[in-house]
Amino acid sequence: MRLKHPTVEPKFESSEPKEGDVMPLVRIDISKTASRERVRDVGNAVYNAMIAVANVPEYDRFQVVTRHEPDEIIYPEEGYLGIDYTPDLIMIQVTWVGGRSTDVKKKFYQHIADEIYAKQGVRKQDIWISLVDSGREDWSFGNGEMQYAPK
């Protein structure tokens, strides 16, 4: 899906590496009953959180959504760590270049949950996030090229 950000001018004119690039790939696993608007808003929330707190450049947005049947998103009925879940549970997994601080990660989680709740009314308990690190050289954004050399 092509995403339009009509009010923002592109910042990049070249493929020059930049500080702060984290090159995220976001996987979103969500119920088939979620509306198209919800899917869109969840993707927006993750992207906006990256821009706001994780120093991700604008337009570095690559996300894969998979919709699931009820028996394909599995969580504990009893809850876990005092948190209870419903079939609206949204699983978000971000693979990115390591290096974000604990504080940034905390803000990242909060920003995502706050925005999804504000836009879609999803209970914050039902927003689940997992992060995986990789290296700068572990990404090709197209053209068969490694856009960033290792530091």
Smallest separation, CB 82 to its own copies (Å): 5
Smallest separation, CB 49 to its own copies (Å): 10
End-to-end CA, the chain? 32
105 versus 119: smaller Cβ distance to its own copies: 105
121 versus 144: smaller Cβ distance to its own copies: 144
CA torsion through residues 114, 118, 120, 121, sign: positive
Smallest separation, CB 139 to its own copies (Å): 6
Smallest separation, CB 97 to its own copies (Å): 10
Neighbours of 143 (CB within 10 A): 8
48 versus 114: smaller Cβ distance to its own copies: 114
Beta bridge partners of 83: 80
Is residue 127 within a helix (H) or strand (E), and if so which, with residue range?
Answer: strand 127-134
Coil/strand/helix, residue 53? helix
Extract the tokens encoding 113.
């949950």
Report yes or no: 129 and 123 within 8 Å, Cβ to Cβ: no
